[in-house]
Amino acid sequence: MDQELIKQCTAEAQKWLSPAFDAETQAEVKAMLDAEDKTALIDAFYQNLEFGTGGLRGIMGAGTNRMNKYIVGMATQGFANYILKAFPGKKDISVVVGHDCRNNSRLFAETVADIFSANGIKAYLFESLRPTPEISFAIRQLGAQAGVNITASHNPREYNGYKAYWDDGAQVLAPHDTGIIDEVNKVTIDQVKFTPNNDLIQIIGGEMDVDYLNAVHEALVDQEVINRQKDLCIVYSPLHGTGRVIIPAALRTWGFQNINVVKEQMVIDGNFPTVVSPNPENSEAMTLGMKLGDKLNADLVLASDPDADRLAVVCRDPKGEWCILNGNQTALMLSYYIIENKKKLGQLKGNEFMVRTIVTTETIAEIAKRNNVEIRDVYTGFKWIAREIKLSEGVKKYIGGGEESFGYLPFDKVRDKDSPASICLLCEIAAWAKDNGMTLYDLLMKIYLDYGFVYQNAISVTKPGKSGADEIKQMMEDFRKTPPTSLGGSPVVCVKDYKTLKMVCDGKESDIDMPATSNVLQWFTADGTKISVRPSGTEPKIKFYVEVKGEMECPKCYPSATAEAKAKVDAIKKDLGL
């Protein structure tokens, strides 16, 4: 074990034995220092948590690399210092503070509000847990300069996090992200103003819920379809999280009347007792919903993750069995419906645009292009989609955007992923499909027949701790040094490196037009396969996104087309050493 690293971590840990930290924290740190195995000490102190693509996120516990009230406190003091510098001389600076259902989320949110108020910044603190998109909405609605949401999104139960937002309601981008980090890094625990100014803390709740629900209604495309299919049988689960009140209410305001909730998962619980992991990307999390769906003969089953920014959709295949859509399929269906039906209803004026992340399915771009709708590609992370909305505000109309990781935003009043609006719109799509003698599954098959069959597979390789971070870094360096020349039996014809913003396609090098660099590599093969690889910004993982094209001549050909595509993905994984 690296003795120099142990020495460094020991020095950092000893600072946490001062009276500035409570007895419980000191005892936890002392146990790590006294332990013969220094792995826990290193993992807790080898670095400071930093803002990544999703903000500040980590395992709860004592240490500089852990989520606790002191790290939250220093982050908030640094954020407050940055806000005061960014708005010099401005009176009545304010922030919005929200949180999800996780253990310690309320404690952390109250700590955040206390520190902002102690620094002379008004804090609008939600009375209880609320969806991430409502926090984003509230920042814009209240004219606040910034916001904080305490959430670890869909991460396992031991995690919590801190999402920092700016005055546009989006998560922070450059220069604010690095500016905040610089200020946070200057803060020592004795500089944190923990004692609140209660006159500057205002509790908000119900009135913002009403305003948000009214805004969500703007994502609706065709009210008449819903009116005809108002009895569509819907099953919904919040996975113990923040969607439990808002999403059923939103569905009712859209006109749906047959809404059924998974009672076991309506219970607010940061331990997520009914699931292994509260991630709607995992089929296991949908088990109870599908069980209730069977009992009720439901048309579809939906779920939101704990902070209700992501969503999952389950529909019936031709045999009547449940089929879980992946994030690309969900984004594809939403994008298709928005364009096709706005076009039919005369709602497209020619100045509309959609946005997708670079790792999301290419078919969305094809649908947009065929219908003369502008499509923009951005990096992973909804802050980049929000940036495009802001750049075109008042000039062009944003009508939808999403990413493969189960996140979509179908309107522009929010600047983050929005499962309440997306779930409502998916139910409208299911109603429209039923109106036309189809299920959501049938609609997906129609899209494949019209625009070509594609199959996606996301592979995450987890490498925890300091050693894992080093291993991920080395993997990216090796891929850059020796890129694959062939994948799945097809030659690589184009390589894109977003770290250097250079691409080589058919032997010709050119620049990539993006607003910043990012540690992402992409390989495109002659047969239309796309592979993207990137380290996660919020988890100890390296992620591979594979999309392969295939032949599908009829809806019944879907299983065989999928089997062929899976075989190709397996070959690609072997080529990459996965």
Told to judge if 153 belongs to the known catalytic residues of this protein, a careful annotator would answer yes
**List of residues 6+ apart from 84 with CB closer than 8 A:** 93, 119, 120, 121
The radius of gyration computed from the CA coordinates of the chain, to the nearest angstrom, equals: 24
Catalytic residue among 94, 105, 117, 153: 153
Torsion over CA: 137, 142, 146, 151 (sign): negative
Q: Is the separation of the CB atoms in 54 and 67 below 8 Å?
A: no
Q: Is the separation of the CB atoms in 100 and 151 below 8 Å?
A: yes
Q: Is the separation of the CB atoms in 386 and 147 below 8 Å?
A: no
Locate the DSSP E strands across 336-415. Answer: 352-357, 374-378, 397-403, 407-409
Q: Three-state SS for 315?
A: strand
Neighbours of 82 (CB within 10 A): 20
Distance CA 445, CA 442 (A): 5
Neighbours of 139 (CB within 10 A): 29
Torsion over CA: 262, 263, 269, 271 (sign): negative
Residues in the chain: 578
Distance CA 253, CA 421 (A): 11
**Could you tell me what percentage of the chain is helix, strand and coil, using 3-state DSSP and rounding each to the nearest 5?**
45, 20, 35
Which sequence positions are flagged as catalytic? 153
